[in-house]
Copies of this chain bind each other. A is one copy, B any other.
Amino acid sequence: MTPSSGVSAEKAERIPPRARILAVARELFYRDGIRAVGVDAIAEAAGTNKMTLYRHFASKDELVADYLRESARLATAGRDRLEAEHPGDPLAQLRGWLARMAERLANADERGCPLVNAAVELPEKTHPARRVIEEFKTAERAWLVRVCRASGLREPELLADELHLLLEGARVTAQSVGRDGLGERVMRMCDALITAHAEKR
């Protein structure tokens, strides 16, 4: 057992402790659940200790909020990347987003949207995570509406809601029942919805 022994992220590297802690927290919180992971475990897995953790995060609740902010940032960056990959082609952006979601559904490590899971785990309305969750989900839906509208599809708000709810449902269903062929089925449903909103009247 070497002196610097972390669980999955042994970082004796030059990455500052705050980033190491946040990376490890993201992994453990997502995989095992927020309430199931103690700050001790995070600190140890990050190759540091609880004191250093509390020098960078005021409390576990704040660490959780930062974990969710980071997750939201990554998701937003992914959407930005899609826009860069398909400039001026909102329909391709939309399909790319759906395809990525479908891929995730087949992944065995997939445990749904980290922010949705946090909302389930942390019902307290005063928890600092609540704001982050609400803002992220609102932005996500707004992006979908924008892309649907830019694609010239009829009733973009309705379509965005249909797609969004369908995907959210699929991501929790993957956790509760299973994911056999779920990705393909969902993709077909989404395609049908898009087609319906393209043809409509």
A interface residues with partner B (beta carbon < 8 Å): 31-33, 35-36, 111-112, 115-117, 119-123, 133-134, 137-138, 141, 158, 161-162, 164-170, 172-173, 175-178, 185-186, 188-189, 196
Cα–Cα distance between A135 and B168 once the two chains are bound (Å):
21
- Secondary structure type dominating chain A contacts: helix
Please name the residue on chain B nearest to A176 by beta carbon.
Answer: B119
Q: Is the CB of A161 within 8 A of B175?
A: no
With A35-B36, A35-B121, A123-B111 known to touch, is A173 a contact of B165 (CB < 8 Å)? yes
Whole-angstrom distance between the Cβ of A142 and the nearest chain B Cβ: 11
Q: Is the CB of B117 within 8 A of A120?
A: yes
Q: Is the CB of A165 within 8 A of B169?
A: yes
Whole-angstrom distance between the Cβ of A96 and the nearest chain B Cβ: 20
Whole-angstrom distance between the Cβ of A45 and the nearest chain B Cβ: 17
Q: Which of A173, A178, A185 has the most CB of B within 10 A?
A: A173
With A120-B120, A165-B170 known to touch, is A141 a contact of B111 (CB < 8 Å)? no
Q: Is the CB of A161 within 8 A of B185?
A: yes
Q: Which residues of B contact A158 (CB under 8 A)?
A: 185, 188-189
Q: Which residues of B contact A161 (CB under 8 A)?
A: 185, 189
Cα–Cα distance between A161 and B183 once the two chains are bound (Å):
12
Q: Is the CB of B134 within 8 A of A176?
A: yes
Q: Which of A123, A172, A176, A196 has the most CB of B within 10 A?
A: A176
Q: Which residues of B contact A188 (CB under 8 A)?
A: 158
Q: Which residues of B contact A134 (CB under 8 A)?
A: 176-178
